[in-house]
Chain A
Amino acid sequence: MKNILGLFVALLLGVFIILALDTSASFPEFGDIDLTERVSDEYLDGNNIDDVGSANIVTAIVVGYRGFDTLGEVTVLFISALGVALVFGGVPNKQNRLDLKFKPNFMLKTGSKIIFGFILVTSLYIIFHGHLSPGGGFPGGAMIASAILLLYLSDDKFRSNVKGFKLLEGIAGSLFVIIGLLGLVFATYFLQNFLPAGTVGEILSAGIIPIIYVLIGLKVGSEISGIVDNFLTEGESV
Chain B
Amino acid sequence: MTMTLFDVVSTFIGVLLIAIAFLALNSNKLIRAVLYLSALSMLTVVAFVLMKAPDVAVTEAVIGSGLVTALFVFTLLSVKRRETK
Residue A52 CB within 8 A of the other chain: no
Q: Would you call A142 and B77 a contact (CB within 8 A)?
A: no
Distance in angstroms between the alpha carbons of A145 and B71 in the assembled complex? 12
Q: Do B78 and A3 touch (CB < 8 A)?
A: no
Contact between chains at A142 and B55 (CB < 8 Å): no
Complex Cα distance, B41 from A215, in Å, reads 28
The residue on B at minimum CB distance from A130 is B55
**Is B55 in contact with A58, judged by CB distance below 8 angstroms?**
yes
B16 on the A face (CB < 8 A): no
Q: Are A99 and B70 in contact (CB under 8 A)?
A: no
Complex alpha-carbon distance, A100 and B67, angstroms: 17
Instruction: Report the minimal beta-carbon distance from A1 to chain B, rounded to whole angstroms.
Output: 14
> Considering only CB atoms and an 8 Å cut-off, how many residues of chain A contact the other chain?
24
Known: A3-B26, A101-B77. A30 touches B51 (CB 8 A): yes
Does B63 belong to the interface (CB within 8 Å)? yes
CA distance A56 to B78 in the complex (A): 42
Q: How far is the CA of A163 from the CA of B74 in the complex (A)?
A: 23
A100 lies within 8 A of B78 (CB): yes
- Judge whether B62 and A143 touch: CB under 8 Å: yes
Whether A134 contacts B26 in the complex (CB less than 8 A), given A101-B77, A149-B67, comes out as no
Binary contact track B7-24/A, C-beta < 8 Å → 1, others 0: 000000000000000000
Tell which of B26, B59, B78 touches A101, judged by Cβ atoms closer than 8 Å. B78
Q: Are A136 and B55 in contact (CB under 8 A)?
A: yes
**Which of these, B58, B62, B77, contacts A146 with CB under 8 Å?**
B62
Q: Is A158 an interface residue (CB 8 A)?
A: no
Q: Given A134-B54, A136-B55, A138-B59, does the pair A224, B78 have CB atoms closer than 8 Å?
A: no
B57 at the interface (CB under 8 A from A): yes
- A159 to B11 Cα, complex, angstroms: 46
User: What B residues does A142 contact at CB under 8 A?
Assistant: 59, 62-63, 66-67
Q: Could you jot down 22 A-B contacts, CB within 8 Å?
A: A30-B51, A98-B74, A98-B78, A100-B74, A101-B77, A101-B78, A101-B80, A102-B77, A126-B58, A134-B58, A135-B55, A135-B58, A136-B55, A142-B62, A143-B62, A145-B67, A146-B70, A149-B70, A153-B70, A153-B74, A224-B67, A232-B74
8 additional A-B pairs beyond A134-B58, A149-B67, beta carbons within 8 Å, are: A101-B77, A101-B80, A102-B77, A139-B61, A142-B66, A149-B70, A224-B67, A231-B71
